[in-house]
Structure 1
Amino acid sequence: MSKRFGIFSVVGMLSTLYVLPVAGNDVVFNKDWSFSLHSDSTCISPSYDDHEWRKLNIPHDWSIELPFDKNALPGNDGGYLEGGIGWYRKSFFIKDVEKNKRYQLYVGGAYMNSDVYLNGEKVGGHRYGYSPYFVDISKYLKSGKNVVVIRVDNSKQKNCRWYSGSGLYRDVQFIQQENLHISNWGVFFTTPDLSTLYMELSLDNDGDEPRSVDVSLSILGHEKLSSVTVPSNTKGFIVKQSIDVPEAKSWSPDSPMLYEANVCVRENGKTLDSIIKNIGFRTVEWNAAEGLKLNGEKILLNGGCVHHDNGILGAAAYPAAERRRVRLLKDAGFNAVRTSHNLSSEEFLDACDEYGLLVIDESFDGWRDAKNDHDYHILFDEHWQSDLDAMLLRDRNHPSVFCWSIGNEVIERDKIEVVTTANMLASRCRELDPLRPVTSALACWGKDWKTYDPLADVHDIVGYNYMIHESEKDHLRNPERVMVQTESFPKDAWSNYKKCVENPYIVGDFVWTAIDYIGESGIGRHYYEGDVPGEHFERPLYPWHASHCGDIDLTGYRKPISHYRSMLWNEDGEQLYLAVKEPDGYVGKIKTTMWGNWPTYESWNWPGYEGKPIEVEVYSHYPKVRLYLNDDKIAEKGVECMKATFELPYKEGVLRAEGIGADGIVKETKVLTTAGKPYGIRLTVDSEDASSDTPSMAFVSIEIVDKNGNVVPTADNELNVSVIGGGELIALGNADIKDDDPYYDSTHKAWHGRALGVLKNNGRKGNAKITVSSPGLKTSALKISFGR
């Protein structure tokens, strides 16, 4: 997180009078935009009449607001949601434009090809949809009313192998600076040890005269002051400082301590520019003999890969949604995440800093050779450095980011020139940040794996996608190689865990994936005989429109595999868990896929299966478990690979598992109860207040319950949702990736007794009230208090 401060005044003029704060060099520019999917270039004129356009705030993803369509150009990759071309307009008023100042717009993410116009003139643009960019608007900004227009073009398909979303899906900021100012992303903090903060500060002087300034760095009451003279017309004048902070506590996933570092640039006592950043004191080391060490202590990475979307919300990077996503990962026992295969939002990394989640920060899915017709290969030669720099410079102050990734399964891996390209990218990473290791995710299909040794040798830590079974042979051949499994199959959780524990040169495992995501439709699914067969990459699978390989589903609910994986990696966490495997033939003959698991649920509701054999899984840290049905002992078993499996005839009632300690005493009990008929609806809310410039949100879990309050896992009732007062419903859905009912309306079926509704503050004061009803069920309502 960073904040900048200065003095200026801007007033937005649209349907409401929008007054941005007087204090602040960087002002979030998210409110009161007009939007259209049906315009043309005439709208860049300041006099264009946009009163019929939709009024909205950003972040905004227009694709998630469209219906699923089997003919959509993004196809199976893009979740059957269309792209297109969107236009955003915003009018604003600035009292006085000063010639000795610089004005910029900062666009955190526009997917994808975007062009920026101010007062009818093109002032900039950007091609890559995942990297942020700055636009200097000084030349065309005027005192009084101004009109900014941003055209976002996601019409050239296919351009991504997963759901990208479309539009201004991350923050936009308005920036005002003095002629002498801190460069964009111009502060770099490092902690060479756990009690020293080192800073490199980059200053720009756009004026025609040298400037003598004082630079101060302060943290926890300690301050360092330097006086420097910055030559005229200079970019990137470096000021170096270090400061001892003996009382600082280290940052780690278990104890993510953050401190505010304040940097101020003054001239004759007047503040020209300043910045506040949250920093953490931590060190990273790696070698094949000891593995990965954080703050001098060995750490194993229980990691998960994630895409950038927020499930039923689409790609819009609402800060509260990004924070929730990180909380879900932490609650599921992960200590690391890989931002596959692109830059994440800043809000996501801020949350990783705050909650303690280590990050492999990844830049590209591909390089020069195409995976899709319109993907990054057409941009690589011209834009690789600016896009890579955007990741490195923006993210290098995050203590959570411990490793840079420069690519994923690049197609040209069989060509000798791939080594030159990898060296070029890795060298740039080390030039801008010499302290973090560099990796990329390597894969092999149909080739001799060891032929990739020259490519692997470019990296500090070698990423293995589904290839960790080669690790022992690789270690004999390359004993100094440090390895991490950057992608793995969910079903291999035990074997991958054992690999990491038993081999110090393997520093962790990142499962594909931690959370279900839209697009790459059908990966990880199970299906039944008679359904469209095969893997997601073999043919279109509509109406499947999302993944099912995540430990966590689209609505944030943890699957049984999530509990199992967390128990493997976390001795002090959950100790006992109970789940039931769907009987083969209950719905149909079950077929699993490469990234899939056998369908398993927290359910003892299997009507029509009475007396037939059913398998129960108990995950346990205890050496033995006992299983009971209606207080009748079924069996006692020893635990192997942290699991015990029982088979018994199905009968309604209460299924109980007991964890038995080494002393023979029952330590813990887990129960599954057969739920009765659907009776009512239970609402619970996960809400988090946000700042006044960010929509406050609430995630409402909707459960169909019986008279005793048990979730009915067979319920698929139609839900009707209404919201009044200070909130609005912006998404409603379930975790069924085959249900193509859109997420933007107010009706949706439950799936396995559950659904999720997402609300945000609508700008009004007062509480919001959500009411959920379903024919034949008791209606439920809940009041929600939003921060504004």
Structure 2
Amino acid sequence: MRKRLDKKWRFYPGGESPFFGVNNEGMEVNLPHDFSIIQKRNPDSKGGAANAFFPGGLGCYKKSIYIPEDWKGKDVLLEFEGIYMNAEIRFNKQLVARHIYGYTGFFVNLTPCVRYNAENEISVNVNNDTLPNSRWYSGSGIYRHVWLEVRDPVHIAPWGVYVTTPVVSPLHSVVQTETTLENGLSQKVTVTLRSRLIDKSGAQVTSTENRIDLPANGKSEVKQLLDVGHTHLWSVDNPYLYILKSEIIQNNAVIDEKLTSVGIRTLSFDAKQGFRLNGKIVKLKGACVHHDCGLLGSAAYDRAEERKVELLKANGFNAIRCAHNPPSPAFLDACDRLGILVIDEAFDCWREAKNPNDYGVFFDMCWENDLSSMLLRDRNHPCIIMWSTGNEILERDGRSDGYRLAKDLADFVRLFDKTRAVTNALCPIPGINDKVDQESLVHNGDQWGELTEKFIEPLDVAGYNYLRHRYEYDGEKYPNRIICGTESYPSQVFENWEQVQKNPHVIGDFVWTGIDYLGESGIGRVWYGERKSYLGEYPWHTAFCGDFDICGFKRPQSYYRDCVWGISKAPYIAVYNPEHYGQSVGGTPWSWSDVVSSWDWPGFEGKPVAVEVYCVDDEVELFLNGKSLGRKAAGKENKYKVLYETVYEKGELVAVGYADGNITAKTVLKTAKNPVGIRLTPDREILDRGEGDLSYVTVEIVDEDGNIAVTDERDIFFAVCGPGSLLAVGNSNPVSEEMYVGNHRRAYRGRAMAVVRSEGFPGEITLEAMADGLPVATVSIYSAGSFE
């Protein structure tokens, strides 16, 4: 028996003292839960801009579970998918486990401490008070699911099913299973292991079984082969999943079973043809993504994780790099279902720390356990194509035994899985020249290449962060080196993609970043005048560098990427803020231009304004209130950008694209009239996945023609009726001091967002939105009830 244990925990801010217990009444919460996101940001927070100015701190979670008499003789376990961080687990007041790393899952065996026919108390203390311990927003608490598992003494080990596909063809494939069986009894037992492959329709495709003698208090690893005739191959375009049903049978009864999703596909990497999926060359159109879920903080709701994957997939991405830690199981499940390739990454640092209290403090003690946790948990996901042992590791230049560690970690990965490539993301080394032009090489030699060569040696794929200038040179110097652009600046997407297409040994490009995130505050901001700091000062709290903002709204850089990748059909009009016309502007390499697709600039009538048009067509023409501002060359030869200078006047701005002299498409921006209402648009009108299912509702202040009133930033209040609740509110403002919890939020550029959560009961959920001077807006979302 296995079930989620997410409901009705008691959360106590400040944690629990071993001497005095908890010192407050606490509050009832459901998991996943992030107690940082409910805190008021503080400019004096120890985590600072890196942690989005959230305080962190201590917390304690408690829950009672009734354990009946008939569970005697069985094992009782908890699986924690993720706790940030320094977790201490007690059961009936007895310490049963500690787990430091905030991003790996772990199991706790409660059996020795169980009280039968009685209530049993679970207590989880979380310590995220030792800031700074992260370079980004980590969140705090039990932010992923918790599972209760009750099993017979004879069972399949946790994460004990490993699936590979040694033979793959549309006509015939072979699925190999390696299943670890455990016997907790003091005598030998004989069981049957049956493995069945089920297709999408629920029909059995093939099966096999073996009779196994399990030693007393021992285990056995059983290999089986399953022949598959006509095969649906898993791919980005057709992510077909089978289900493997693994069953232990004793005395004609199934005493344990596990279900595993299986995608049948092949992966190959070489320097001549790059990366191939099912024998076909695929260039990786990649996005780096942090683990947080925007308005929800780090709380890993299944739907929130799925939505991130949906957004990226719908906008041309075919790959995601999990930066810089193992993601939630729900995230990888979504990648399997939707067809997104994944780099699964273990660590942001090794023994050389990047913050005083980060994982570097614990690396030597914990890395093997945490890396094996990632590998065992994730290795059946067909979406995963590479394992990354780290990001921008300081030991990449050989310091602190870095070359040996690089080999040790790569070899360790291959002990668990040899079917995927091993990578590591390297970046420039401060103070070390990485330029490869002739003059630089003559005077300095290839310092970066020589220092990192032994570090890269044990890798299958070398991850390059911000090292595009080395692609061609290293391809010649190291002819067998396969390179992946594991991080790149959004402002250089054109140049990066040109290099990926030009060089077969460069298999893809991963932008930093696909979706905006909390922390590394203001890394993508622009400024006018003198820059005061590397990261943004308070109240900056989002990175502001994603193709999608914190709400999931598409940003201008994403529309430009549409042109580079050949997705775009219509021109995109990007208007520079006229307030800063003619001023000196600065930005980081992660910045995008200070533009917005709007023709609403009250107070700037008659003032000069710059307009940029992103266009794939040969030519583009811009019209202001019917008057042509000129027809100009566009397209690839002009890097898809055309700049216009004009004077602002209210009305209509139209961009028209031409190919071979013919009109292909046009885009219209209109100055909005006075606001007349609020428009509510849920991304899902039916919540059919039980308690915790979500609907993201876009909130827009509009005029009588449906145009968004971009300059309207009034406060909007929300109320929810029916079997649902208001989980989060937010907008895209990266410097707002408002909370992401509560019942109101100001609009930003005419928009906001509300996230509605199903409570698991059937019925109609009604969301109301109210603002001064506007009629109340309502939308209905249907909850289908619990599936458990």
Same fold (TM over 0.5): yes
> Is the 2:347–2:390 contact (alpha carbons within 8 Å) kept by the matching residues of 1?
yes
Output the CA distance in 1 between the equivalents of 2:23 and 2:650. 65
> Is the 2:570–2:666 contact (alpha carbons within 8 Å) kept by the matching residues of 1?
no
> Is the 2:619–2:632 contact (alpha carbons within 8 Å) kept by the matching residues of 1?
yes
SS at match of 2:348: coil
- The residue that corresponds to 2:591 in the other structure is 596
Pairing 1:558–2:554 present: yes
Q: Residue deviations 1:206-251, cap 9 Å, x none?
A: 2122222222222242333232323324555111112222322211
**How much does 1:315 deviate?**
0.3
Pairing 1:685–2:658 present: no
Moved more, 410-419 or 107-116: 410-419
> Is the 2:316–2:567 contact (alpha carbons within 8 Å) kept by the matching residues of 1?
no
Pairing 1:719–2:713 present: no
> Is the 1:210–1:229 contact (alpha carbons within 8 Å) kept by the matching residues of 2?
no
Pairing 1:31–2:7 present: yes
> Is the 1:586–1:609 contact (alpha carbons within 8 Å) kept by the matching residues of 2?
no
What is the correspondence of 1:223-262 to structure 2 with a 5 Å cutoff?
223-233=206-216, 235-262=218-245
> Is the 2:690–2:784 contact (alpha carbons within 8 Å) kept by the matching residues of 1?
no
**Structure 2 CA distance for partners of 1:541 and 1:65, relative to 1, 3 Å:** same
Match among 425, 442, 446 for residue 431 of structure 2:
446
Moved more, 233-242 or 128-137: 233-242
**How much does 1:690 deviate?**
6.0
> Is the 1:200–1:241 contact (alpha carbons within 8 Å) kept by the matching residues of 2?
yes
- The residue that corresponds to 1:181 in the other structure is 155
**Structure 2 CA distance for partners of 1:258 and 1:763, relative to 1, 3 Å:** closer
**How much does 1:174 deviate?**
0.6
> Is the 1:688–1:697 contact (alpha carbons within 8 Å) kept by the matching residues of 2?
no
> Is the 2:691–2:759 contact (alpha carbons within 8 Å) kept by the matching residues of 1?
no
Match among 637, 642, 645 for residue 643 of structure 2:
645
Q: Residue deviations 1:753-782, cap 9 Å, x none?
A: 111111212455432222212222233122
> Is the 2:385–2:420 contact (alpha carbons within 8 Å) kept by the matching residues of 1?
yes
Q: Residue deviations 1:700-734, cap 9 Å, x none?
A: 11111112110112221121222222222121111
Match among 121, 142, 146 for residue 172 of structure 1:
146
**How much does 1:74 deviate?**
1.4
> Is the 1:212–1:227 contact (alpha carbons within 8 Å) kept by the matching residues of 2?
no
- The residue that corresponds to 1:13 in the other structure is none
**Structure 2 CA distance for partners of 1:529 and 1:774, relative to 1, 3 Å:** farther
**Structure 2 CA distance for partners of 1:549 and 1:138, relative to 1, 3 Å:** same
- The residue that corresponds to 2:98 in the other structure is 125
Q: Residue deviations 1:32-69, cap 9 Å, x none?
A: 11111145236998xx999x331111000011001111
**Structure 2 CA distance for partners of 1:163 and 1:689, relative to 1, 3 Å:** farther
Q: Residue deviations 1:69-128, cap 9 Å, x none?
A: 111221111111111111111111121254532221100111101111111211112111
Q: Residue deviations 1:378-436, cap 9 Å, x none?
A: 11111101100111111111111110011111122233521100111111111100010
Moved more, 363-372 or 91-100: 91-100
> Is the 1:605–1:652 contact (alpha carbons within 8 Å) kept by the matching residues of 2?
yes
Pairing 1:421–2:417 present: no
Output the CA distance in 1 between the equivalents of 2:230 and 2:459. 35
**How much does 1:785 deviate?**
1.6
Output the CA distance in 2 between the equivalents of 1:587 and 1:734. 29
> Is the 1:697–1:786 contact (alpha carbons within 8 Å) kept by the matching residues of 2?
no
- The residue that corresponds to 2:628 in the other structure is 633
What is the correspondence of 1:31-50 to structure 2 with a 5 Å cutoff?
31-41=7-17
- The residue that corresponds to 1:749 in the other structure is 746
Moved more, 195-204 or 101-110: 195-204
> Is the 2:182–2:214 contact (alpha carbons within 8 Å) kept by the matching residues of 1?
no
**How much does 1:647 deviate?**
2.8
SS at match of 1:427: helix
Pairing 1:136–2:109 present: yes
- The residue that corresponds to 2:468 in the other structure is 468
Output the CA distance in 2 between the equivalents of 1:780 and 1:586. 38
> Is the 1:534–1:593 contact (alpha carbons within 8 Å) kept by the matching residues of 2?
no
**How much does 1:644 deviate?**
2.9
Output the CA distance in 2 between the equivalents of 1:491 and 1:454. 31
Runs (5+) with no aligned partner, structure 1: 1-24
- The residue that corresponds to 2:192 in the other structure is 214
- The residue that corresponds to 2:29 in the other structure is 56
> Is the 2:760–2:783 contact (alpha carbons within 8 Å) kept by the matching residues of 1?
no
**How much does 1:635 deviate?**
2.0
> Is the 1:339–1:360 contact (alpha carbons within 8 Å) kept by the matching residues of 2?
yes
> Is the 2:35–2:140 contact (alpha carbons within 8 Å) kept by the matching residues of 1?
yes
**Structure 2 CA distance for partners of 1:691 and 1:374, relative to 1, 3 Å:** farther
**How much does 1:637 deviate?**
2.2
Q: What amino acid is the match of 2:563?
A: M
> Is the 1:413–1:452 contact (alpha carbons within 8 Å) kept by the matching residues of 2?
yes
Q: Residue deviations 1:453-488, cap 9 Å, x none?
A: 111222111001101211111111101100011111
Match among 403, 406, 409 for residue 386 of structure 2:
403
**Structure 2 CA distance for partners of 1:688 and 1:401, relative to 1, 3 Å:** farther
Match among 259, 273, 280 for residue 276 of structure 1:
259
Q: Percent identity?
A: 38
Q: Residue deviations 1:623-673, cap 9 Å, x none?
A: 2222222232222222222333333332222222222223x2222222111
> Is the 2:6–2:145 contact (alpha carbons within 8 Å) kept by the matching residues of 1?
yes
Output the CA distance in 2 between the equivalents of 1:688 and 1:58. 23
Output the CA distance in 2 between the equivalents of 1:644 and 1:49. 62
Pairing 1:581–2:581 present: no
> Is the 2:16–2:23 contact (alpha carbons within 8 Å) kept by the matching residues of 1?
no
- The residue that corresponds to 1:542 in the other structure is 538
- The residue that corresponds to 2:617 in the other structure is 622
Q: What amino acid is the match of 1:88?
A: Y
**How much does 1:681 deviate?**
1.2
Match among 737, 741, 748 for residue 740 of structure 1:
737
**How much does 1:262 deviate?**
1.4
- The residue that corresponds to 2:75 in the other structure is 102
- Runs in 1 of length 4+ with deviation above 6 angstroms? none
Output the CA distance in 2 between the equivalents of 1:636 and 1:211. 82
Q: What amino acid is the match of 1:707?
A: E
Output the CA distance in 1 between the equivalents of 2:19 and 2:191. 44
Runs (5+) with no aligned partner, structure 2: 433-446
- The residue that corresponds to 2:532 in the other structure is 533
SS at match of 2:666: strand
Moved more, 510-519 or 238-247: 238-247
What is the correspondence of 1:487-526 to structure 2 with a 5 Å cutoff?
487-526=487-526
Match among 20, 26, 50 for residue 77 of structure 1:
50
**Structure 2 CA distance for partners of 1:691 and 1:183, relative to 1, 3 Å:** farther
> Is the 2:395–2:403 contact (alpha carbons within 8 Å) kept by the matching residues of 1?
no
- The residue that corresponds to 2:319 in the other structure is 336
- The residue that corresponds to 1:14 in the other structure is none
- The residue that corresponds to 1:19 in the other structure is none
